[in-house]
Structure 1
Amino acid sequence: MCQLLGMNCNVPTDICFSFEGFSARGGKTDDHSDGWGIAFFEGKGCRLFLDAKPSIDSPLAELVRRYPIHSTHVIAHIRKATQGKIALENCHPFRRELWGRYWVFAHNGNLPDFHPENHGIFQPVGDTDSEKAFCLILNTLRNNFPKGKPPLRLLYPVLREITAELGSLGIFNYLLSDGEHFFTHCSTKLCYIIRQAPFAAAHLIDEEMTVDFSELTTPSDRVAVIATTPLTDNEFWTPIQPGEILVFQDGLPINFE
């Protein structure tokens, strides 16, 4: 299946180190070679890079690996297709506008019997179960809160309910963000690490690369990295429990369970 990578932090930070290891899984150290994508929130704006080529062979991925875009919310995805042809319109992450903000979504899993009726303004462009699920989530949120984004304490139960409904249909690991809150749902496999002072060196699993974060950060920096499986072999990654939705803000998880 696909793999996910996310970052949430309290100050704008680049994801070059993590993306170096993650993108290697798109055809070099793993077989997720059916396209890739990454989204960076910058204020209310959102840069979105997509390519149907394997990330290890994509010139666009090489640009992202070398271009230190600073963001507090990043979502990346490498695809191993289960539904939908290999094409640009089926590459994650997907992006839509809701309540005057961009929302970005990426999914790892498979919903084999998911054939929703198209109710609402959000419609899929491609033919993946993932984009259909994203549109259903946004239509549900908009229908429940037509006047605008509600406080998190009201939004969270609605998101949890629709997530449980979709999760009952198959494997439904996802990352979702509007640039203000960063939502993660674990169906089978997802983990995270919080990097904060005192910072130390980290070594990638998929590439021979080590970075000493103490040389690149300030004592007040805090970064959460979320991934399908750990990206480094000398740090402790915390598993997210199946069925759990975590909300990250300023590099820390908020557990509403």
Structure 2
Amino acid sequence: MCEIFCFNSNTPKQINKCLECFYNHSEEHPHGWGLATMQSNEFVINKEPIKATCSQHLKDILSHPIIGKNVFAHIRLATVGEIISPNCHPFIEADDNNRSWMLIHNGTIFDYPKLNEYKDKENGDTDSERILLYIIDKVNEFEKNKGGLSTIKERFNLLNQLIVDLSKNNKVNLMIYDGDLTYIHSNMRDSLYYLKNDEGFLVASTPLTDDEEWKPVELNKLFALIDGNIIFESEKHQNEFILTEEHEKAIEDFLKSINQVDNND
């Protein structure tokens, strides 16, 4: 599928070493890379539909210090959608109150018909982008009914409800940022880890340093981070995703179709 990464801290830190280690995993995730940083309260996003280790653009970026309080990265192994730039993570979209949302996803949506209506609205053709559009619609609906902006706790509660429902029969490892909160969710064992230290909060699909303090992200819970600390934590749901032979076959068939297109080109 994919690998995901985020860094959350109360002060800007340089994280080039972690990013270099993360992007070196792209041999097994060759279908694109992405990087999102916050600068002057705005997202700066770079992404390409090529293997990270083959990208001169990424090498140029990493040759300079990457310093920030909120940094997100992604390497893609496609299971839904073409190998094109609009399908590379992170995805970014604004809600009706002009709040920018960013999402990266590791997983596949096998069964969630509510996302189908977004196929004609997204820029690419991934299930991951549809998740973001769906969440934003629900935030817009909530704030319209409220008649004003949501609080961070209201947004956390809303996203928790949406993600619990979305995670039934689907792999939903997510990192989302709404300008205030960084949301973290995993529902598959041994697929997301975190390290909390003096530098901040690191979360990645696999440990990125030799530090023995890396721990698995607690399964089936939504967490919200601000300034390197967990401020909200949901109750545990029961929608653990277990990869079956049927899931594996669906993924293999899609990867074969990609390889056939590449060979025809």
TM-score (norm 2): 0.81
Find out whether 1:43 has 2:20 as its counterpart: no
Does structure 1 conserve the Cα–Cα contact (< 8 Å) formed by 2:221 and 2:233? no
Deviations 1:203-248 (A, max 9, x none): xxxxxxxxxxxxxxxxxxx411110111112331121122111111
Distance 2:131 2:178 in 1: 16
Deviations 1:121-145 (A, max 9, x none): x931111111111111111111111
| Aligned CA distance change for structure 1 residues 117 and 47 (closer, same or farther; 3 Å) | same
Residue matched to 1:233: 210
Gaps of 5+ in 2: 235-265
User: Structure 1 residues 86-95 or 42-51, which shifts more?
Assistant: 42-51
How far 1:179 moved relative to its partner? 2.9
Amino-acid identity (%): 28
Distance 1:248 1:145 in 2: 22
Q: Which amino acid aligns with 1:247?
A: A
**How many residues align structurally?**
227
| Aligned CA distance change for structure 1 residues 37 and 183 (closer, same or farther; 3 Å) | same
Distance 2:77 2:124 in 1: 15
Distance 1:179 1:155 in 2: 12
Distance 1:243 1:143 in 2: 25
- SS of the equivalent of 1:157 reads helix
Equivalent in 212, 232, 250 of residue 227 of structure 2: 250
Residue matched to 1:97: 94
Does structure 1 conserve the Cα–Cα contact (< 8 Å) formed by 2:152 and 2:180? no
How far 1:178 moved relative to its partner? 2.2
Mapping 1:53-132, distance limit 5 Å: 53-98=50-95, 99-115=97-113, 116-118=115-117, 123-132=121-130
Between Structure 1 and Structure 2, which shows a larger proportion of helix residues? 2
Deviations 1:119-176 (A, max 9, x none): 7xx9311111111111111111111113554112211111001001111141000100
Residue matched to 1:199: none
Distance 1:69 1:42 in 2: 11
- SS of the equivalent of 1:110 reads coil
Mapping 1:202-221, distance limit 5 Å: none
Does structure 2 conserve the Cα–Cα contact (< 8 Å) formed by 1:9 and 1:224? yes
Residue matched to 2:185: 185
Residue matched to 1:21: 21
- SS of the equivalent of 1:133 reads helix
How far 1:117 moved relative to its partner? 4.3
- SS of the equivalent of 2:71 reads strand
Distance 2:178 2:62 in 1: 23
Gaps of 5+ in 1: 197-221
Does structure 2 conserve the Cα–Cα contact (< 8 Å) formed by 1:43 and 1:179? no
RMSD: 1.7
